[in-house]
Chain A
Amino acid sequence: MFFKKLFTRKKRKPLRVDRGMLLFDHTSDVIRAETLLKAEGWAIQVMGPPPEIQRGCDLVVEFPLMEQMRILETLKAKKVIPLEVVPVAGPLLLPVDLFHTKDFGDYLMVRAANMKITIEKKTRIIVNISGGGCPDVPFLAEQLTGKTLEEAPKPREIGHTLCGYALQLAYEEVERQCS
């Protein structure tokens, strides 16, 4: 029994008592907060909220709790105000981190979760965006298709949902592969 307990304890992930969550109304606010805080060099990560969190959208910003005051000041200065700040008391959902790439010869397609982006390699023009289910996907597709990676607005700047965020990840991956 002792050995079983010891083994179980070793496998369990440590509780992240030093981390907090910033909750926001909209995914677009989460994305703005992430952009601001990363630009300032904070060690933050966008995650999924635990099921017991009933407020806010489907993304949270996980941050070092000890830095709460300075982080809130940074956000307040840019008028990005979280709904609530709560300590992390359990495991958070991890965003998808696997990419699927398909080479069509002149074109390259990258899929992240349910979102796909395809570019023409020679011109770096975004030729198609597909997948997704949230209503900003057709909007994002209209805004990005036909533009180069440099000209197009970043999905994170004009998207509002998790599909928009997944497209951002696919966009970053295709940009990385074509750099």
Chain B
Amino acid sequence: MLLIAGTVPDLNFPLVFGPALLEGRSLKVGEHRIPVLRGTPALVAAAIQASRFAGSEPPHVLLAGDTGRGGGSRLVYQYLVENAAHLGADTLTFHYLQPEVDWHNRILMALDALPRPPVRIADAGFMYAAKMSGYASAYDLFTPDVGELAFLADEKAPHPFYTRGFILHQDENAPELIERAYLHDNAAKYLLVKGASDLFASRDQIHWRVDAPSWEAMEAMGGTGDTLTGMASALIAGGMDMERACHLAALANRQAGVLAKPTPASQVAAIVEVLFEALKQCGQEKIRDHE
């Protein structure tokens, strides 16, 4: 089972844990409805589409309301620490959460104590905390965009906001940034770098790069990186090996751009709606090839 831990931008939203369903342009978790605008809801919506494609169960979510003060993130953190043994997750994806190293370390210890720790995927704020903690290599996958990759490559930066100017965060520099991130042990076992080109890398090599299809306006749209992470997470949880799952997710995310034909003013819900079709078009290979 895939578990996604993140936040929604509503202070009145309580801590919730359970399976998430997609109904129109909203998520349904228990009795709660969450509009799919961007951020963690967009990631969850994409994961639901990919789970449907993979024939696996829909993702579970652990969410709380947070608008930047960190209160909701801490509720999520506390729940993870106290219930680590009972989460039942094979794959755990961390997303928009307040980057707090102390909580990060407590969660990592709780997960390490499990007889079968889940596959760990980190994006957004929790990836920042993972890098700052010095335990980036304890993760299976980070999914940075090129700006965040520059942050991983800067061994001194505690947040992307402080990435030093000489570390150029542009797509053409991605291979050097990847090398530098691994040099200072600030990367997970694998990196899925999201950008004009999507790259999949490990410490030793860049495994693949995907440049096409390409729909330029997606770069401006909030949530299109989240949909890629969401699909990759669900395909990994569905049994596909990490490299192929990320490759299919990258292709499908791009194909969704071609299908939806968004402008820079379009919202990510338009992409989410065509992800299942995009996955079908791109996914020629058998899903559960390991079985």
Contacts and interface: CB of A to CB of B under 8 A. Distances in A.
A95 B127 contact: no
Contacts of B37: 138, 141-142
A120 interface: yes
Interface residues of A, number: 50
A20 interface: no
A148 to B, nearest CB: 13
A111 B156 CA distance: 21
B4 interface: no
B89 interface: no
B160 interface: yes
B221 interface: yes
A131 B162 contact: no
A163 B128 CA distance: 11
Contacts of B148: 114, 133
B264 interface: yes
Contacts of B97: 135
Interface in B147-200: 147-148, 151, 156-165, 169-170
Given A93-B162, A95-B162, A142-B9, A128 B265 contact: yes
A139 B68 contact: yes
Interface stretch (B69-77, B231-239, B244-252, B272-280): B69-77
Nearest to A161: B68
Contacts of B96: 133-135, 137-138
Interface residues of B, number: 53
A127 B39 contact: no
A163 B161 contact: yes
Contacts of B223: 130
Contacts of B170: 100
Contact of B67 (A104, A130, A139): A139
Interface SS of chain A: mixed
B217 interface: yes
Given A114-B145, A135-B70, A130 B38 contact: yes
Contacts, number: 162
Contact of B219 (A102, A134, A141): A102
Contacts of B127: 133
A166 B160 contact: yes
Contacts of A162: 159-162
B123 A107 contact: no
B161 A131 contact: no
Interface of A: 26-28, 48, 51, 58, 93-98, 100, 102, 104, 106-107, 109, 111, 113-116, 118, 120, 127-142, 145, 159-166
| 6 smallest beta-carbon distances between A and B, as pairs | A136-B68, A160-B68, A133-B124, A138-B39, A127-B265, A139-B9
30 contacts: A26-B69, A48-B159, A48-B161, A96-B162, A97-B165, A100-B169, A104-B216, A109-B220, A113-B151, A113-B163, A114-B151, A114-B161, A118-B264, A127-B264, A128-B220, A130-B38, A131-B225, A133-B99, A134-B68, A134-B96, A135-B66, A135-B70, A135-B97, A138-B37, A138-B39, A139-B67, A142-B9, A160-B69, A163-B161, A166-B160
Interface of B: 7-9, 37-40, 66-70, 72-73, 96-99, 123-128, 145, 147-148, 151, 156-165, 169-170, 216-217, 219-225, 263-265, 267
